[in-house]
Homo-oligomer: A and B are copies of this chain.
Amino acid sequence: MNARDTFKQLPHKTIERLSQYRRALLICLDNNKDHIFSHEIAKIQHITPVQVRRDLMLIGYSGTLRKGYNIKELIDLIADIIDSEEGIKVAIVGMGNLGRALINYFSGKRHKLSIAAGFDVNPDKIGKTVNGIPCYDCKTMSQVIQEQNIEIGIITVPDTQSTAIAKKLVESGIKGILNYTPKPVEVPDGVYLEEYDMITTLEKVAFYVKMENERTVDVAVKRQGQGTAASNF
C-alpha cells in the first residue's frame, strides 16, 4: 500500500487535527520558530502530546530527538495530505451577513482552497463583488459551477431555502457541501456533507456551564452538610 492509500484511512479526527496543527504551525513559522515539540503543539490544541505524536506517526512523519519537529517540513507534509494538488474551488450560496463574513474571512487564507463565486437571488447583490468575489444569479448556478469546475458549496441562505439549494448544488455536480443553516439537508452518496449549527455549540457550552454551576452548589451544600454534622459531635 502506497503513502496515498495510507492517508485515505486516517481517522476522521486525525484529519481535523492535521488542519489545526497546520494552522498553529503557520503561526509559529511566522514567529521565526523552526522546530517544535509535541508538547508545544499539544498545549496549543488542548490535547495530549501523545495524541500529537500518534497523529504524526500515522502520517509517517519523524521528528528529531531533542529538537522536535521541523515546522516547515511538517507544514508541507500536511499540505501533501489534505490539500488537493490542483486546488479546489468553493462557492458560497447566500450572500447575506454570514456569506459575506465568510468570504472576507476565507480570502487568501489558503492557496489551495479558493472561493470562486457567490450566488444570490437578490437583484441588488447580483453583479456586485464582495472582496473581489463576483456574486452571480442563482439561476446560473449550474452553468457557473460547471464552467469553473467548482467542487464545494457552502450554504448560507435562509433555512427555508437550504433543501432546495442543496438539491441544486448536487444537480450542478458539486462534490462537497458545508451547510451553515440550522435546517439539515440531504445529499446522495458520493457527495460529502458537513453541517454545523452555531446554536448547538452554544447550547453545549451552556449545558456544561450549568453543570459546573450545579456542581459548585452541590459541593457547597455538601460542605455545609459535613460542617453541620461535625458540629453535632
Contacts and interface: CB of A to CB of B under 8 A. Distances in A.
Contacts of A197: 20, 23
A204 B194 contact: yes
A3 interface: no
Contacts of A201: 178, 194, 196
A165 to B, nearest CB: 16
A178 B198 CA distance: 10
B207 A15 contact: yes
Q: Is the interface of A mostly helix, strand, loop or mixed?
A: helix
Contacts of A83: 206, 210
A102 B113 CA distance: 25
A182 interface: yes
A183 B8 CA distance: 28
A7 B115 CA distance: 42
Contacts of A106: 198-199, 202
Closest 3 CB pairs of A and B: A97-B101, A176-B209, A192-B208
